Structure 1
Amino acid sequence: MALARVFALALCVMLAAVGAQAQDVPQPDYTEWELRARADEVKLDLGTASINELESIRARMVDWRARFLAAEATNQTRISTVKAQIDALGAPPAEGEEEPADIAARRSDLNNQLAELRAPVIRAEEAYTRADGIIGEIDQIIRDRQADALLELGPSPVNPANWPAAFEAVTTSLRASGQEIAANVSSATYQAEARRNLPLILLLTAIGGMLLARGKHWAQMGVEMLRGRARRGAGVFRFLVSLGQILLPYIGIYALIEAISATGFSGTRLDFLLGQLQLWAALLFGTRWLADQTFHEVADRATVQLDDNARWESRRLANGLAWLYVARAVIEAFGELDNYSDATVAVVEFPLLLLTALVLFRLGRVISDETNAKVPEGEERSVFRARMMRVLGRIGMVTAVAGTVMAAVGYLRFGEFSIYPVVATLALAAVVMVLQRFIFDLNDLISDRMKTDNEGLLPVLAAFALSMAALPFLALIWGAREADLLEVWTRFREGFVFGDTRISPTDFLVVAIVFAIGYMLTRLLQGALKATVLPKTKIDKGGQTAITSGVGYLGIFTAAIVAITAGGLDLSSLAIVAGALSVGIGFGLQTVVSNFVSGIILLIERPISEGDWIEVNGTHGIVKDISVRSTRIETFDKFEMIVPNADLIAGTVSNYTRGNMLGRIIVPVGVAYGSDTRKVEKILMNIVRNHGEVLMNPAPQVEFVNFGADSLDFEIRAVLIDINKGMAVRTEIRHQVVEAFTEESIEIPFAQRDIWVRNAEAFGRGSFGTPGAARPTEVPPAQSVPGDGVDNDDADGDGGDGGDGSR
């Protein structure tokens, strides 16, 4: 009780804090906002702002919009209270009707209060809409400018008139860099600093050179140590150790950069290039590792399954693309330092673009060729990866050709946008596939350690989440701005408006948590009822199951209502949705609703229960489970039959074990004519009375039921303690009857017929009398041979169709 009180007190404090926070929302400075908005709108109207200026304006607008969104929560608690008070007064009177003066005055006062409380909210909503409109206008302007720049016709790189200027610009850049380094090296000040740092320089140089020369080899040695392990999960350790192929050489590059910086000989230009060198080195080493993981020389360790030659060529081409990508980055760095002209940029970058297109085309051809695929049978994930790479390969081939042609004409930006994003997309797809394979290998390792089945939903969901996480990077590759992604995230956090309520992801999280708690409490209550409470009552098993199921459905429904309310969704807003759904329920979902209602009736009325032996539409079986839509029945042939609940309610169902397990069996017995019927009756009665499963009250009976065509017919009728054993009891009784009749020489007849042939001499004159003609040799019992002179006569001459017991 004390714990409950503490929890209740904490909950009250939280609610009070939330309410106070809603009341004390800081209000934006609308005067400043008005001046800033007007100034920015003027800049947008002039159309002279640069991209950087537009991004700066947009960042300010995003900040203002966030303030206005927070201000929309002003007075929410008071507004809800006043609305409830107005609703308590009832609906306003219709036109022409009068309302009592005191109620009318109170309604007017509350409406005035509501308008006053909503004034800051309305102002914040108006300002939010204005800021959002400015942001949308800026995004549209930037996108239009990007599209114009992409389709802008520039200098052609194949025009020889542009080559001398480009050559001169590149030569000037290299000469300037060399002169800067030479000047620093000849400086006495820099030389003195280099001598002071000589031990550190030598140490960093040794470390960097050693890691560059041997780092990859050491990482490969670590991988090979794990290669021979056949146990599940070895791929996880190989993956982690293989990361050393990136880390160790990168540390070596970093050590060399620090050694060069320690000499003091690097100037402004070299410092800028050294800063970019870290990124270039990471790109090269990462691509080399990625190519090795994707197209590994060992077939079973490759992410994309190709034959040996295709994997080797793909790995070589992927490394070539990485070097070309870095070379383009170096050219762009020099262009940024020395401000290259458009013609120089086109001439210098076009050879790299052409080589990239050639390598991309060749790589796309290799991975898209189905004859190179070597996918193990039964590995669906490998099949999917192969298909994905084939699609990307074909796209790469098309864009390589189109981009090169467009760049040669003069649309260099379009050519770059066509080719380089495809290269980056291939790399991103390879990263995703490699990480997905790592996830499945990790799941195999965990499953092996825990001795469980390795097939599960969790690794599939993790792989899917990884694919979703790659989408923002894919958008950035294809020209999306960071601001665009932030805008999507902002919209997601803001949620959406449903009626008068704004639903945010936080509300969804609250709904999920509250529903999960309610669901767990419901399951705990069901378990307590099923295991502790209900077994101590006199309620039968079917009734216990019905109560447990009813508590479950009621608990889940209550948890859903509480969760929706806790999330801030006004249930009255669902009235229109419920009205629309009722139409669909009436037409398209009538069968589902009928089965649902029938399931509720079955659980309440309980004409059948779990474990009952029933017959439905001529099929016998045991009821295994009753749900709200259908009932699961296990037949005696050991297959499951799913019966809609509506069929059980509307149709005829035979329940053989309803209320008790008693049931009657009937065993027919036939004896030959001439047998002592009194003796037969006595034998049969002794057999049935001595059986352990037969009840003596009501007493079993032996009935002489009929003079049959071939036998004297008796029936053994007995009530069993458990009708489920009826088949076994019948079998045992039949065995005992045969044994007893054999001892007493009582015959159990079977149908027989004698064939009498009239005018046998007629066969000599017929077709059978011809030489060589086949003659009938034997007629099976109980059959007659039609034809001239053949008659199916009875054997005993009584005018019947064959007397009882005739030979």
Structure 2
Amino acid sequence: MPILRVMPVLLLWVMFACASLPLWSPDRAVAQEMVGPAAGADEMKAPDYKQWEKTATRAEREIADRETESASYEMMRGYLVQWRDTFLGAQGLNASRIASVRSQLDALGPAPAEGETEPDDIAQRRRELTAQVAELRAPVLAAEEAYQRADGLIREIDRVVRERQTEELLRIWPMPLNPANWPSAAAEVSGLAVDLWDEGSGRVNSPAAQSTTRDNLPAILGLLAVGLLLMARGRSLMERLTQQLQDQASARGRKVTSLLVSLGQIAAPVAGVVAVSHAITLSGLAGPRTTLIVEALPAVGFILYSAGWLAGRIFPKNGQQTSPLNLSVERRREGRFHTAMFGVVLALDGLRSVALPPARVGEAATSVMAFPMIVLAGVVLFRIGQLMLASVRNDLGDDEPTSFRNSVIDLLGRGAIAIGVIGPLLAAPGYIAAATALVYPAGITLGLIGLLFVLQTLVVDLYGLATRNEEGGRDALLPVLIGFLLALAMVPLLALVWGARVADLTEIWARFREGYQVGSTRISPTNFLLLAIVFSIGYGITRLLQGALKSQILPKTRLDQGGRNAVVSGVGYLGIILAALVAVNSAGLDLSNLAIVAGALSVGIGFGLQNIVGNFVSGIILLIERPVSEGDWIEVGGVQGTVKSISVRSTRIQTFDRTDVIVPNQDLVAGRVTNWTRYNMTGRLIVPVGVAYGCDTRKVERVLREIAEAQPLAILNPPPSVVFMGFTQEFMSFEIRVILRDVNFSLSVRSDINHMIVQRFAEEGLRLTHMTREVWPPEPEEPEPEGLDEEEMAALLAPAPRQKDNVPKGTSAVDPRAEDEDDPEDEPDGDADADGATEGGAEATGSNR
């Protein structure tokens, strides 16, 4: 956010605003006498309703009297707020006792219907308990009635005060452009100068003042020397130090350090102003009006130097410093000047309101003196708005869409320009209060937004420094969330700047804290906060228990990995449910009243979420029965792969080409699933071999058996077998059938067997089948034979049978189950992959994936 020039200004402005508020701080004894027991008193002690009646009656009289001053309204409102808090706490009187008696009534059963009777002893006991409940509820009902009365009186006071504020804003003051009003303003300014001179000269000639000055002379001289030095050189020294830190591009954390050091540009000169102000006070030379001005000097200095500091952060001199606006060096220099100038205007107007208050000098003089400040503030706002729009233009390229950041800057810039024009136009005919309430808050709002930018930048830099990644901090989630919270925290300050009373904010907070009534339960933010804390603790304990089970306890049991995962997941679900129930109970939320609504909604929700509920139940079944576990090689719905995770709604399967397939749990429970490796990893591998005619079949069988038995992964019980399958036109068909310890390595075993077949057949003089590819040249056309019937003609013209091309003999058997081999990478977690029917495990049939 680009416009933050007047942030420091804001703080001082708020100081002045708070100082001018008619805040009530009556004597503690008097307040206690009117309010009675405080809200934090023993809740079993009922409020003093007699004293409350006196306070309420007095409040009603003051509200009816429209001549009552606003300060009296604010003081009375404070008393009423204390009473309201007391009555709110009193509504919990006898709560536990009432709940106990009502449970006794419930134990007696429902009251008999009309015309029915019940035993006398039960009826008598029911009457006694009902009378007890009524007696216990009496103070609660009184507190509820008093609470409503206090709340109503507070609302009336707020309404009256807001009406007065509106009337004040719309009131027309004497026109500042009317020359007839100028002499009164000049007379007040000259009168102030004369009064200050008279006070100073009188004090100088006063023996008492001279004695005070001599006694405090060392302290006065020391404070003056230090103060003037800090005012003259403190800001420039800190600015040079900040510039040096910013120039150290390789220094770690230089941004954070330079920002913190730059605060010295405010602290050092303001400390000098405070020292000078204190020196003047110690001298004893300041009269009453001089003392008012001297006491306001620290606030004025704070506004001036804060505006200068903020101008340097938003319109930096150094190009390495982060800036919210995309401006050239000349435009940034102009921005620093206008931002600092708005601080000067705000400081002078605040000093004027202290030295020449409207109640003392009159409306005509105040209107004339305030008008130039309003015009100057409007001009500054206008120029700052133009700079913001220029930054947006510099950021936008040809046909480039406007970003959210630039949209906000553009909106604020246009608003600043509009207020810069409207403010002076309102002040010219005499709407001084309206113009003041429009121009100065607009500038302070820009200052607040500027401060927000500085704070967000600081958060990003601190995050980058903590994570040792200063460049990646802007893309992290945590700084964004913190920045969002800072923006929310600015909302109350903005409300105060634009005329909201502190009482308005406290009233909103009180309403928020009290919560809302749902059935017989009052739900407030504190309930939700307690619920969130308890649930978080329960969730954390659940996760710790899951971690302990997974890493420490379950590995020492005989459960397989699938069983361990099922136990860990089940503990997680159970822990979350228990944490939610304990949290709801701890927060005191009575959800029984929502049962009817929940029952009505459950029908519609059931139809809309039936698939989700079905998948959830299926997930529970998978965890309990465990037909499929993590790590299993399964086939479901034409998808084969390894189970990677089983969640509440779905199961993630990683196929052999390393893609993830999300399968709903219902498909695994209701559909047909083939689990190749559920109970063991053994599986049968079939390797077809084609042998040329003329070879010794017994020798072939012996060689193939030796090859199979030589495989390290082959199981010898049952031993590998070699089967002479039969004859084809081209070769004799054999098969090697071997059971492997781990079927996942079937592809590598197949490859080893084929290599050994080639090697051993060459050594033993055996021949693998081979097929030659015949090329048939085009035949010349011959005359059609005569004397042949149709069948003989068809037989004569039929082509001779041809062998399949590109099928080397001995490398593949004719097997309807055979498939083309794929890349060796297409395997599960082992080195190979196989398919086929299971025999004591899974069967690999000679087809590879």
Between the aligned residues of both structures, percent identity stands at 45
Give the equivalent residue in structure 1 for 2:631: 611
Q: Secondary structure at the match of 2:111?
A: coil
Is the Cα contact below 8 Å between 1:672 and 1:805 reproduced in 2? Answer: no
Find the partner of 2:231 among 196, 212, 230.
212
Give the equivalent residue in structure 2 for 1:485: 505
Which one has more relative contact order, counting CA pairs under 8 Å at least 6 apart? Answer: 2
Q: How far 1:734 sits from its partner (Å)?
A: 3.1
Range with greater deviation from structure 2 (350-359 or 305-314): 305-314
Range with greater deviation from structure 2 (550-559 or 537-546): 537-546
The AA in structure 1 aligned to 2:773 is Q
Give the equivalent residue in structure 2 for 1:575: 595
Q: Determine whether 1:340 maps to 2:357.
A: no
Q: Deviations over 1:502-536 (max 9, x none)?
A: 33444334333433333333334333433444334
Q: Determine whether 1:633 maps to 2:657.
A: no
Cα distance in 1 for residues equivalent to 2:44 and 2:525? 21
Find the partner of 1:564 among 565, 584, 592.
584
Is the Cα contact below 8 Å between 2:274 and 2:297 reproduced in 1? Answer: no
Cα distance in 2 for residues equivalent to 1:685 and 1:127? 100
Q: How far 1:627 sits from its partner (Å)?
A: 1.8
Give the equivalent residue in structure 1 for 2:537: 517
Q: Determine whether 1:414 maps to 2:434.
A: yes
Q: How far 1:803 sits from its partner (Å)?
A: 13
Summarize the Cα distance change of 1:541–1:802 in structure 2 as closer, same or farther, 3 Å threshold.
Answer: closer
Cα distance in 1 for residues equivalent to 2:189 and 2:460? 49
Q: How far 1:135 sits from its partner (Å)?
A: 1.0
Summarize the Cα distance change of 1:451–1:801 in structure 2 as closer, same or farther, 3 Å threshold.
Answer: closer
Find the partner of 1:90 among 100, 109, 115.
109
Cα distance in 2 for residues equivalent to 1:222 and 1:334? 37
Find the partner of 2:352 among 313, 331, 338.
331
Structure 1 runs not aligned, ≥5 long: 1-20, 377-381, 763-790
Is the Cα contact below 8 Å between 1:625 and 1:631 reproduced in 2? Answer: yes
Summarize the Cα distance change of 1:805–1:138 in structure 2 as closer, same or farther, 3 Å threshold.
Answer: closer
Q: Secondary structure at the match of 2:176?
A: coil
Q: Determine whether 1:241 maps to 2:261.
A: yes
Cα distance in 1 for residues equivalent to 2:801 and 2:166? 110
The AA in structure 2 aligned to 1:565 is N
Q: How far 1:559 sits from its partner (Å)?
A: 1.9
Q: Secondary structure at the match of 2:643?
A: strand
Is the Cα contact below 8 Å between 2:709 and 2:716 reproduced in 1? Answer: yes
Q: How far 1:138 sits from its partner (Å)?
A: 1.6
Q: Determine whether 1:168 maps to 2:187.
A: yes
Find the partner of 1:362 among 383, 400, 415.
383
Is the Cα contact below 8 Å between 1:177 and 1:270 reproduced in 2? Answer: yes
Cα distance in 1 for residues equivalent to 2:184 and 2:152? 46
Q: Secondary structure at the match of 2:361?
A: coil
Cα distance in 2 for residues equivalent to 1:473 and 1:80? 43
Is the Cα contact below 8 Å between 2:235 and 2:265 reproduced in 1? Answer: yes
The AA in structure 2 aligned to 1:76 is A
Summarize the Cα distance change of 1:416–1:746 in structure 2 as closer, same or farther, 3 Å threshold.
Answer: farther
Summarize the Cα distance change of 1:23–1:587 in structure 2 as closer, same or farther, 3 Å threshold.
Answer: farther
Is the Cα contact below 8 Å between 1:668 and 1:715 reproduced in 2? Answer: yes
Q: Deviations over 1:88-118 (max 9, x none)?
A: 2222333443323222222221111111101
Summarize the Cα distance change of 1:700–1:231 in structure 2 as closer, same or farther, 3 Å threshold.
Answer: farther
Cα distance in 2 for residues equivalent to 1:542 and 1:453? 40
Is the Cα contact below 8 Å between 1:614 and 1:623 reproduced in 2? Answer: yes
Give the equivalent residue in structure 2 for 1:7: none
Summarize the Cα distance change of 1:702–1:511 in structure 2 as closer, same or farther, 3 Å threshold.
Answer: same
Q: Secondary structure at the match of 1:158?
A: coil
Q: Determine whether 1:79 maps to 2:98.
A: yes
Cα distance in 2 for residues equivalent to 1:215 and 1:153? 45
Q: Secondary structure at the match of 1:602?
A: helix
Structure 2 runs not aligned, ≥5 long: 1-39, 784-795, 810-849
Give the equivalent residue in structure 2 for 1:30: 49
Q: How far 1:339 sits from its partner (Å)?
A: 2.2
The AA in structure 2 aligned to 1:313 is E
Is the Cα contact below 8 Å between 1:62 and 1:135 reproduced in 2? Answer: yes
Is the Cα contact below 8 Å between 2:636 and 2:674 reproduced in 1? Answer: yes
Is the Cα contact below 8 Å between 1:709 and 1:804 reproduced in 2? Answer: no
Q: Deviations over 1:607-649 (max 9, x none)?
A: 1011111123322222222121222222323333332222222
Find the partner of 1:652 among 640, 653, 672.
672
Range with greater deviation from structure 2 (311-320 or 673-682): 673-682
The AA in structure 1 aligned to 2:376 is L
Find the partner of 2:137 among 118, 140, 143.
118
The number of equivalent residue pairs is 751
Cα distance in 1 for residues equivalent to 2:281 and 2:163? 43
Q: How far 1:328 sits from its partner (Å)?
A: 1.6
Cα distance in 2 for residues equivalent to 1:131 and 1:24? 19
Q: Deviations over 1:596-616 (max 9, x none)?
A: 111111111111011111123
In the TM superposition, 1:729-740 aligns within 5 A as 729-740=749-760
Is the Cα contact below 8 Å between 2:381 and 2:419 reproduced in 1? Answer: no
Summarize the Cα distance change of 1:136–1:674 in structure 2 as closer, same or farther, 3 Å threshold.
Answer: farther
Summarize the Cα distance change of 1:639–1:803 in structure 2 as closer, same or farther, 3 Å threshold.
Answer: closer
Cα distance in 2 for residues equivalent to 1:100 and 1:543? 59
Cα distance in 2 for residues equivalent to 1:48 and 1:266? 37
TM-score by length of 2: 0.82
Q: Determine whether 1:141 maps to 2:160.
A: yes
Q: Determine whether 1:197 maps to 2:208.
A: no
Q: Determine whether 1:642 maps to 2:666.
A: no
Cα distance in 2 for residues equivalent to 1:537 and 1:292? 67
Cα distance in 2 for residues equivalent to 1:710 and 1:179? 131
The AA in structure 2 aligned to 1:729 is V
Q: Deviations over 1:29-84 (max 9, x none)?
A: 11222232233223323433232222122111101101101111111110111111
TM-score by length of 1: 0.86
Give the equivalent residue in structure 2 for 1:310: 331
Find the partner of 1:157 among 176, 181, 199.
176
Q: Secondary structure at the match of 2:468?
A: helix
Summarize the Cα distance change of 1:667–1:297 in structure 2 as closer, same or farther, 3 Å threshold.
Answer: farther
Q: How far 1:656 sits from its partner (Å)?
A: 1.1
Is the Cα contact below 8 Å between 1:793 and 1:802 reproduced in 2? Answer: no
Give the equivalent residue in structure 2 for 1:624: 644
Summarize the Cα distance change of 1:335–1:708 in structure 2 as closer, same or farther, 3 Å threshold.
Answer: farther
Is the Cα contact below 8 Å between 2:389 and 2:414 reproduced in 1? Answer: yes
Give the equivalent residue in structure 2 for 1:285: 305
